[in-house]
Amino acid sequence: MDRAKHILQEGGEHAVLMLHGLSSSPLEMRFLARHLNNEGFTAFAPVLDGYSAGTSERDMQAWVDAAVHEFDKLAKRYARVSVCGLSVGAALALAVVNQRPTAHAVVLLSVTLSYDGWAIPWYRFLLGWAYYTPLRSRWRYREASPFGLRNEALRAKIARAMQRNGISEVGPSTISLPALREASRLATRVRAKLADIATDCLIIHAIDDETANPRNAHYVAAKIASPFLRTIYLDDSYHMITSDNEREIVASETAAFLRESEAARGIGNGAKSQVVSKALARRLRQLAALGS
């Protein structure tokens, strides 16, 4: 597997550090990076040693250290730095802003603290034990359809890319057992630190996410200490919301939130403002009708 390349879109004085998913590449953030740059932001999606595809695997502390290092480099060059993460990258983003409370805002896309979506195999809970067996160095979790995508045409394209290259714009074809274990360790740390994070926060999650149940988003929204919090739920996407049917919504809502966070900095009474999308409201009405 070739080493991935970072994405840098130079823009204004507000830089956004963009963290892709586990064992994947900055390609996952390409569409969002382009949109943010068009909106005047500097967008940077780096390759992180030990975390990104094509690098030697390392433990989760190395992931955090690498991401914090990239944050610090941006902070020296730009007036404001926000952090945006996708999937396990969202958990990594929380770890970064916990260590760097000067971060302007944090954006959590399909935040994954638990692999508990509807497409996760029933034996997932056994993998923690398998790590301490000879399977540790041999077993790899293999991605399968729907590849985090509700869009069927894109799903077919990704399936071909997975077979040909072992990686695609929505992630790798396989993930190692040690990497999954380190992701679990990272999630445990993040859960313990949420109440200490007082950074403005946007959470976007698909209600049909097949990898990370929306409970992940609910948990973070309930525990984080952000004075300015917005939660948006999507109803026409799966896990890879930066590439799926509603990627334009994800991009526009992210840019809008960062602008509103800039405008609201230092203003407000500290009350959380949780936004439930029209998509979720419609789904709840449908469920209520079925129940009655």
Distance CA 207, CA 258 (A): 23
> pLDDT category, 241, cuts 50, 70, 90?
very high
Kindly give the residue spans of alpha helices, DSSP state H, lying in 53-117.
Answer: 60-77, 88-99
CATH of domain 7-119+182-291: 3.40.50.1820
> pLDDT category, 229, cuts 50, 70, 90?
very high
Active site residues: 87, 209, 239
Q: Which residues contact 292 (CB under 8 A, 6 or more apart)?
A: none
Q: pLDDT (tens digit, 9 = 90+) per residue, 59-108?
A: 999 999 999 999 999 999 999 999 999 999 999 999 999 999 999 999 99
Q: pLDDT (tens digit, 9 = 90+) per residue, 10-58?
A: 999 999 999 999 988 999 999 999 999 999 999 999 999 999 988 889 9
> pLDDT category, 126, cuts 50, 70, 90?
very low
> Would you state the pLDDT for residue 270?
39
Q: Is 270 exposed, middle or buried (0-12, 13-18, 19+ CB in 10 A)?
A: exposed
Mean pLDDT score of the chain: 85
> Would you state the pLDDT for residue 144?
60
> Would you state the pLDDT for residue 121?
62
Which comes out higher in pLDDT, residue 251 or 132? 251
Query: What is the sign, positive or negative, of the torsion defined by CA atoms of 229, 150, 67, 192?
Result: positive
Q: Which residues contact 21 (CB under 8 A, 6 or more apart)?
A: 28, 86, 87, 88, 89, 112, 171
Phi, psi of 160 (to 5 degrees): -65, -40
> Would you state the pLDDT for residue 284?
53
